[in-house]
Each structure stands twice: as structure tokens, then as C-alpha cells.
Amino acid sequence: MPRYSTDREVLETAVRWLGRGRRVALVTVARTWGSSPRPVGALMLMGDDGTCNGSVSGGCVEEDLLMRYRDHQLGDTFPTVIDYGIDREEATRLGLPCGGRLELLIEQLDSAAPLERLLDRIRAGQLVTRRVCLATGEVSLHAAAPADEFDYTSDYLAKVFGPRWQLLLIGDGHLARYVAQLALMLDYRVIICDPRDDYEADEVMDAVERVHMMPDEAVEAYATHPRCAVVAVTHDPKLDDMALLDALKSPAFYIGALGSRRNSEQRRERLKTLGITDQQLQRLHAPVGLPIGSHSPPEIAVSILAEITALRHQAGKGDVSAT
């Protein structure tokens, strides 16, 4: 049964398989109709031995695809586009719900080098578009912006890779580390800002960026687009407030601050005296996170990322904007 994998996992697996001399194909969900189990841009890797990594549906499409690829039934010309679920009978046979339909782009991967170049840019925290020419199969990489979307035309398919969403944590410590871990799993670029030297001794995850800026400077430097979240967890009102003053005026889609209800109300009053308007304060999630009865740092981290995820899906549709 295929499993969900991040884009980076699929690419890294492709590099390993190619390094072992295996015949490998990359499948991308190019278009969907009706109710589809996986969104456009979802990836799956196919090996010539019938194994896969990633997924494009709930399982039946993968099995059929793998069999056809293993048995050389997809033709010899790549890239190629395949439709699944064209009629209700086929959709039912393949397990596509509600008459769903998938259009899949299949590429034959001949070398690991282009994928390694893409992975190098992803690991460096860059946002990059991989564009596939449908006529020639030529692949090119282009710098991308957070607002760039998946694009599929009669000429090319363009998919954005890298951390399109960003989380700026103000304050280091146990909670910040748990929040960072979860955010990395959700493909965020994570920055931890803490100017206090006594928080540097703990081990920091390699994939997390750590800066010693003052909080307001970090907000100005990183919270520059609507796909950024800012969460203040320093337990120091001076540092948290310093960040929130700028964050509440930024385009960040989510702004949260740790604290009890009483402390959060006191914070709101302080921010008002510093010039933050009632409308701007409506953007502040404090106490931070969904009310799931969390007490330990890992549980609080889950509540924070759950709330961010809920708002992220609205922000991705353009429903949330800075005021």
C-alpha cells in the first residue's frame, strides 16, 4: 500500500534508487475532477520492481500504475499523460470516490544529478519551481515566490518545491523545540529568534535557523509575506511585546503568543497603549493554540500547530489578510 511522503522524501528516494541503477519514474497529479484523494502536485515514485514511494490516490490507481510500468505498458515515450476514472465504471473499479478523475504526468528519470540540484536548493531553504516541458521532457529550475502556485497547461507542468510556509518563533526553550519539530514535519521553514545568550547551550536541530536578533528586527526581516506565522513564546513580556508590535502590522497570516487568559488580556491592554488598534488585536491568537486541554510542552505544541494549520488552509485560499 502506498504511503504519503513529503516531496523531499520522494526526491531523496529517487536519488537513492537511481544510484542503485534502477529504472525509475516520477508521477505527478496534474489535474483532478470530482472528489480526489490527493491534490494536484502530489508525487509518487515508481520502481521497476513494483515498489513505490509517495501516492497519487488511495491505493488502487497506484497498483494499476505500478503493474503497467513494471510490464512496460506505458509506452516508450516520456513524459506521458494518463487519465484515470474517465467514466464511472472505471472510477468505481479503481476506488475513486464520487466519480473522481485523475490526470497524471509520468516522467522517466534518467539521472540523479538534476534531482540533486533541486534537493540542494530545497535544503538551503530556497523556494524553487521545477518546470517540465510536456513536448520535450526538458526540466528547468526557477526561483519561486511564496505566492506562486502549481501550474499545468498544454505546454508545461510547474510545481513549487521548498518551504512555501514559514514559522518565526520568538524565544527558545523546550516548547519552541517541540513546535519546531512539528513545523518541520509540515514542511515549514523554521526560524527561532532569541537574543538571550543563556538559551544557546541546548542542541538545535540542523534544519532550524537560529538568529540572535532582537524580536522586532527578526519580525521585520522574516515576516514579510502572507505565508508566514509568528509565535512568541519567550515568557518575557518585554521580548514578546516587542515582536508582537511589529507582527500585528505585518502581512503574516498567523500571530500567536503564549500565556494564560489573564496574562493575554494584560498583554492586549499593554499593546493598546503602544498604539495597536482593536482591529489589529483581533489578529492576535492569545492564549496561543486550540483549547484541547494541553498541559505538557509536546501537547501545547500540537495545539499551536493545529490552530496554525486551520488558519493556514484559509490563508492559502486568500481568505486571510493583514489589516
Pairwise CA distance, residues 226 & 229, whole Å:
8
Q: Give residue 4's pLDDT band: very low, low, confident or very high (50, 70, 90).
A: low
Is residue 248 within 8 A of residue 237, CB to CB? The reply is no
Say whether pTM exceeds 0.85: no
Q: Give residue 62's pLDDT band: very low, low, confident or very high (50, 70, 90).
A: confident
User: Does the pLDDT value for residue 197 go beyond 80?
Assistant: no
User: Does the pLDDT value for residue 96 go beyond 70?
Assistant: no
Residue appearing with cell numbers 500547530:
305
Give one word for 50, left, alpha or beta, with left for phi > 0 and alpha for psi -120 to 50.
left
Instruction: List, for residues 219-261, the tens digit of each pLDDT value.
Output: 999 998 888 999 999 988 899 999 999 999 999 999 999 999 9
- Residue 251: cis peptide before it, omega within 30 degrees of 0: no
Question: Strand locations in 274-314, DSSP E?
Answer: 284-285
Grid cell digits, residue 297: 510542552
Q: Which of 19, 29, 79, 23 is nearest to 54 (CA)?
A: 29
Q: What is the mean pLDDT of residues 67-83?
A: 90
Quote the crossing angle between the two packed helices 297-316 and 174-185, to the nearest 10°: 40
User: Does the pLDDT value for residue 1 go beyond 50?
Assistant: no
Q: Return the DSSP state at 141.
A: E
**Residue 319 pLDDT:** 43
Q: For strands 254-257 and 228-232, give the pairing.
A: parallel
Order of all β-strands in the sheet with 80-84: 52-54, 43-47, 24-33, 101-109, 80-84
What is the set of domains in the chain, with CATH numbers?
A: 7-161 (no CATH), 165-316 (3.40.50.720)
**Residue 57 pLDDT:** 82
Is residue 155 within 8 A of residue 137, CB to CB? The reply is no
Q: What is the mean pLDDT of residues 107-126?
A: 92
What's phi and psi for 80, nearest 5 deg? Answer: -135, 155
Q: Give residue 36's pLDDT band: very low, low, confident or very high (50, 70, 90).
A: low
Q: Give residue 115's pLDDT band: very low, low, confident or very high (50, 70, 90).
A: very high
User: Does the pLDDT value for residue 2 go beyond 70?
Assistant: no
